[in-house]
Amino acid sequence: MSRRLLITFGVLALVAVFFVLVFTGIIPGLRQDVTANKVALSFWGVFDGPDAFSAVMNAYRAQAPNVSITYKQFAPEDYERELVNAFAAGKGPDMFMVHNTWLPKHYDKMLPLAAESLPIATFRNLFPRVVEQDFAPDGLIYALPLYVDSLALFYNKDAFDNAGIALPPKNWSEVNALIPKLRTIDRSGKITKAAVAIGGSPKSINRATDLLSLIMMQGGAPMVAEGFRGAQFAAKGAQGLDFYTQFTNPKSPLYTWNDQLHYSLDAFAEGSVAIMFNYQYNIAALKQKNPFLQFSVSGMPQPSTAANRVDYANYFGLAVSGRSRNAASAWDFIKFLTTNANVSAAYLRANGHAPALRTLIAAQSDESAAGVFARQALTARSYPQIDDTETDRIMGELIENAIYGKLPKDKALRQAEDAITTLIRERAK
């Protein structure tokens, strides 16, 4: 064997040994771990099942094969408690769904998106104004929306046809005018068929406090003071409370509801009320309750003198945990899901939600039910709540105090406003 050939084999052997030593870590600091780029993300959510994200996760894996995502769904009544407990124990997920009212309560658990990753000007061009109000009120983006749902008018088509009503009402004056045509009261004064599910407490009206808040906001009530210093609805919300509660006053010509009637979702499903106000997510529940129910959806009524629409938002976004070790990958997936029109559309098709992206809203703004909810995303509003559960309880108590005469309405309003203000200030300490 020639000297040159021996040298060549010797060099190759040394190179081979060197790479073995590097790979096995005997030469520290030089090994490139083949699993170093593997990223495992945990994702917690509510309402949406695993199938809701299977297509988008597969699409994301195609462009980021090193990232695996595990989704876990929780029951609505358990979700927030499980989330808080997990974060307290240091075991929270990388990504989690956050309700549009939760930022004041949970912002300390969330990692804002880096400004250079999605400039606020681009964010505003992508999503309706309510999303900035809820998830980026100070210019920092804490979450990105999966969809935007809003209250709308649901009406029984058979009831409307039988009453000779060709079109759904567009404003509250038209709603009031329909009540005598759709309501049935027997000689004893008992409502045997209600015209509209409105005016009752949360005991009988699904999302009663959302409906009252919307009516107050349509009347100009700001709901919270500037700078989130406290609640502010007692003065400008008084007219809204009067309007809401008149429908449960037996002495009112618009009397059409009371808390002894079936729960509004059940009453509408069984055909014992002609109109109710609810969200898109409950369409599936109604069809399940009564597959033969003939109903349609129209835009939420507005004050007849209003210059601008005010609708009421209720939706979830996706946030990244402040303790995530893979925050960059988590935000990359969230942006992929929420800002890519094709990917977002696939998620929406799997879930039946209304779009949050302006481009998808523009493509779906027809007269169908989907079009109603899409259009309303542009005019939907909400207000920050330091604790949505407690706020809901306080506003429900306000309705009960008003309709049962437990307190004069002005005192009931001040009591509710003071209670929410106290809540805000205690949590701010």
290 and 395 in a single domain? The answer is yes
pLDDT of residue 30: 37
- In CATH, what number is assigned to the domain containing residue 229? 3.40.190.10
Give the C-alpha separation, 106 to 341, whole Å. 28
Q: Are strands 149-150 and 231-232 parallel, antiparallel or unpaired?
A: unpaired
124 and 241 in a single domain? The answer is no
Domain assignment of residue 15, yes or no = no
What is the extent of the structural domain holding 173? 151-312+386-428
142 and 181 in a single domain? The answer is no
CB 272 within 8 A of CB 262: yes
239 and 169 in a single domain? The answer is yes
CA 68 to chain centre: 26
331 and 202 in a single domain? The answer is no
∠ CA 335-149-197, rounded to 5°: 170
270 and 399 in a single domain? The answer is yes
pLDDT of residue 21: 37
Domain assignment of residue 21, yes or no = no
251 and 341 in a single domain? The answer is no
Domain assignment of residue 174, yes or no = yes
pLDDT of residue 427: 83
Domain assignment of residue 77, yes or no = yes
Domain assignment of residue 99, yes or no = yes
* DSSP at 109: G
pLDDT of residue 231: 98
Positions of E strands within 249-327: 273-278, 295-298, 311-314, 316-320
∠ CA 224-353-273, rounded to 5°: 75
Domain assignment of residue 13, yes or no = no
198 and 294 in a single domain? The answer is yes
Query: In total, how many domains does the chain have?
Result: 2
Domain assignment of residue 10, yes or no = no
Mean pLDDT of residues grouped by 10 in the chain (429 residues)? 38 39 40 61 95 94 96 96 96 97 96 97 98 97 98 98 98 98 95 98 98 98 95 98 98 97 98 98 96 97 96 98 97 98 94 95 86 96 96 98 97 98 89
Domain assignment of residue 4, yes or no = no
* Tokens coding 245: 């509660």
pLDDT of residue 365: 74
Give the C-alpha separation, 330 to 323, whole Å. 12
304 and 419 in a single domain? The answer is yes
pLDDT of residue 380: 98
∠ CA 317-319-321, rounded to 5°: 155
Give the C-alpha separation, 210 to 197, whole Å. 13
100 and 112 in a single domain? The answer is yes
